[in-house]
Chain A
Amino acid sequence: MKSILKILSIVLLLSAYGCFKSKKKVYTNTEDIPVHREMKAELTAPPNVPRPVGERKAKKLIVEMEILEKEGELTDGVRYVFWTFGGTVPGSFIRTRVGDEVEFHLQNHPDNKLPHNIDLHAVTGPGGGAESSFVAPGHEKVFSFKTLNPGLYVYHCATAPVGMHIANGMYGLILVEPDGGLPLVDREYYIMQGDFYTKGANGERGLQPFDMQKAVDEKADYVVFNGNVGALTGDNAITAKVGETVRLFVGNGGPGLVSSFHVIGEIFDKVHVEGGDLINENVQTTMIPAGGAAIVEFHVNVPGTFILVDHSIFRAFNKGALGMLKVEGEENENIYTGEQYDGIYLPEGPGIQEMPTTDGVVESEIPAQNFEEQMKFGKQIYMQTCFACHQAEGQGIPNAFPPLAKSDYLNADVNRAIGIVLNGKTGEITVNGQKYNSVMTRQMLSSEEIANVLTYVYNSWGNNKTVVTSEMVNTIKNK
């Protein structure tokens, strides 16, 4: 009898426990999810994202977003007045879970010129909040909304003229995680594409105003990730280790262009198509509409630098839509061997590659005023034009591209060097005792640019400190 009672009580206990376990109620209508307590939202600047929501319950989430109109850099030497949510382009990342009650504080800094508002695509309501958040400089507006649908959403300013507010950088992402959160991964990053329209052409230095007509024509001068050309390259590259899983929250602010997002050398294991519930697997390039987003995930198996691009490829290599993911770790030759053979292949006819010529290479509007500026501008050109082959420190690549550092060939004859930049070079040369036999195409640079870049090269890395002027270049050009 006693033992029966014991068994009964255990059964009762177990069933009570089972009851407790299943107490986590599933709400068919996310509107009914109750909120527990209040919390200030963590906001992060790109490329970082706030901590995952994990198992936390829905809360009243306070978001304080400050609007700042401020000058920044689009690329080296090109300044632009950005209008920003939280001081960055794209704006701060907001991370919520389904059922959260978001109390949104939109603060327009007193130094700002213009009224602004915010339309969050995660909001169910008129204007996505725009109507309730129209705020004059030096004021703050508050409105609240409940996150009903999980997904990754764009937010942006929607004040007239809407296109101009977006073109100046007023967009960002808000993530609504499902109940229990997205599965945890090793690395998460925030990347958002945007197109910019400047009065001057791409690369024209100085403070560039917004060009309305180009924006209407959708002829972008810059297409960039995270607000400027170098935001995700070099020291700013995002990183991971071999064996990790990387999740990218990718948005496209537009205003004009649709993105063909691709990571060179990787295949997306999973894509949350358009930021929603639908998961596609094994994707090479995913389409991200203007005012849309996607979540992409992939496992990194081998080390190296993986390039993030808009595969509308001129945007990547000529307008800035290029980022880097640097992966460190052990090589895995089962997956990728690296180069295994290098031999000679001679098809018929000379294989000289020549870029199509345009006669008018325009002189830059602001010429260098002194040696320091020549060095500065020269370095910019070097990094854009020469760096890929001759490398950051002029060291070149053994057996392929000759060094420019302490180069006897270079220092022997400045006019020959000018001629090579102007006309290209093909055939065997000997540099510092090593033979090289490759092709350098003629460079589409103005005389001024050639003078600057050669001055930079001659005054770096142990070379003979020759100063090259545009007159010297013109003399060779006109020979």
Chain B
Amino acid sequence: MFAIPFRAVFVCLVFQTFGFAQTDGMASIKGGRYIPLYGRDSSLIEVQDFELDAYPVTNGQFLQFLKDNPKWQKSNVLKLYADENYLRQFKNDTTLNDTENPNSPVTHVSWFAAKAYCECQGKRLPTIDEWEYVAMSDEVTADARKKASYNQKILSWYETPRTDERSIGKTPKNYWGIYDLHGLVWEWTLDFNSVLISGESRKDVDRDSNLFCGSAAIGATDLMNYAAFMRYAFRGSIKARYSIKNLGFRCAKNSTETL
């Protein structure tokens, strides 16, 4: 008797929450031009306006995704899309290990799984250029790459072990209102493998002078390059089905989609 109106309210609520969730927790990034350590044509890159998740996706959020999408649970996932380390922090298909923090960034996810997660939310993974564009800011400046303090902080994170176990949102909010780009985990990008780095970093000097000449030059930009080198080197070492303890992700979407 009362069931029908009640259900209608329920559906509505769910729908509304879902509607908010699309922009909820995202920050608007105003596009611009910049020269990354490396660009596809090794020059000025233009980034369009877009939106980016303020926080990396957490264990808890990913757990919900697994419940809604059983094909990404670890016993069901296609081996083509995830290696043996996929979701290692899970006891079984839908339970985290007791030692895991639901509020720390989800890791041990493959690129395929990260991509699917974002698509289920009507989003996508950010591109390298977008990610690096947002990541070059500190708390007050959009492009802080020349500041010694900015680079020192990033380098010291690269050296600190087990940061993947920390909760999200504890690092300072950056210029765009984004947290944790540096300090917790590496993050997947849509086109992570578009910069080809062979294992032999010294040889790459010939292959793309923009990418590796910096390592030999002595100058003010060296520190900046060193932090970025490590990200590009990391991206160069991984494959899309890899699931790694220090690698998580967040989602992005085009600005126009929100209107």
Chain A residues packing against B (C-beta within 8 Å):
69-71, 81, 110-115, 117, 126-127, 130-139, 158-164, 168, 199, 209-210, 212-213, 216
Contact = CB atoms under 8 A, between A and B. Distances in A.
A130 B88 CA distance: 29
A70 B159 CA distance: 9
Nearest to A80: B159
B168 to A, nearest CB: 18
Interface stretch (B63-71, B93-101, B139-147, B197-205): B197-205
A134 B238 CA distance: 10
A127 B202 contact: yes
Contacts of A126: 200, 203
Interface in B220-254: 222-223, 225-226, 229-230, 232-234, 236-238, 242-246
Given A134-B237, A212-B226, A158 B244 contact: no
B200 A209 contact: no
A209 B237 contact: no
Contacts of A69: 159, 161
B203 A131 contact: yes
A115 B232 CA distance: 10
A337 to B, nearest CB: 52
Q: How large is the interface on B (under 10, 10 to 19, 20 to 34, 35 or more residues)?
A: 35 or more
Contacts of B197: 160
14 contacts: A81-B159, A113-B163, A115-B236, A131-B198, A131-B200, A135-B237, A136-B237, A137-B244, A137-B246, A138-B245, A158-B202, A160-B215, A212-B155, A213-B223
B219 to A, nearest CB: 9
B233 A111 contact: no
Nearest to B247: A137
Contacts of A138: 85, 242-245
B199 A133 contact: yes
A107 to B, nearest CB: 13
Nearest to B151: A212
Nearest to A137: B244
A115 B198 contact: no
Given A113-B186, A209-B156, A213-B223, 11 more contacts: A113-B159, A115-B237, A117-B199, A126-B203, A131-B203, A134-B199, A136-B242, A136-B244, A159-B201, A160-B233, A161-B229
Contacts of B233: 114-115, 159-160
A130 B222 contact: no
A114 B158 contact: yes
A114 B202 CA distance: 17
B253 to A, nearest CB: 28
B218 interface: yes
Given A114-B230, A161-B230, A212 B161 contact: no
Contacts of A110: 85, 88, 244-245
B258 interface: no
B171 interface: no
A136 B237 CA distance: 5
B162 interface: yes
A135 B246 CA distance: 14
Given A209-B155, A209-B156, A162 B215 contact: yes
Interface of B: 85, 88, 151-152, 155-156, 158-163, 186, 197-204, 212, 215, 218, 222-223, 225-226, 229-230, 232-234, 236-238, 242-246
A81 B156 CA distance: 10
A136 B200 contact: no
Contacts of A135: 237
Contacts of B243: 138
A414 to B, nearest CB: 42
A194 B233 CA distance: 24
B161 A111 contact: yes
A77 to B, nearest CB: 19
A160 B201 contact: yes
A137 B222 CA distance: 25
Contacts of B245: 110-111, 137-138
Contact of B159 (A139, A163, A210): A210
A42 to B, nearest CB: 27
Nearest to B245: A110
A216 B204 CA distance: 21
Contacts of B151: 212
B198 A134 contact: yes
A81 B85 contact: no
Contacts of A139: 242
A161 B234 CA distance: 11
A138 B222 CA distance: 29
Contacts of B223: 212-213
A113 B158 contact: yes
B85 A131 contact: no
B161 A81 contact: yes
A114 B157 CA distance: 12
Nearest to A217: B218
A210 B160 CA distance: 11
A387 to B, nearest CB: 32
B158 to A, nearest CB: 6
A162 B244 contact: no
B200 A212 contact: no
Nearest to A116: B237
Nearest to B156: A209
A430 to B, nearest CB: 54
Contacts of A134: 198-200, 236-237
B199 A209 contact: no
Q: Which 3 A-B pairs have the closest CB atoms?
A: A134-B199, A115-B237, A160-B201
B135 to A, nearest CB: 16
A162 to B, nearest CB: 6
B203 A127 contact: yes
A17 B127 CA distance: 74
A135 to B, nearest CB: 7
Contact of B222 (A81, A117, A133, A212): A212
Given A135-B237, A212-B155, A81 B203 contact: no
Given A110-B85, A127-B200, A134-B199, A160 B158 contact: no
Contact of B215 (A114, A137, A161): A161
Contacts of B215: 160-163
A164 B218 CA distance: 14
Contacts of B156: 209
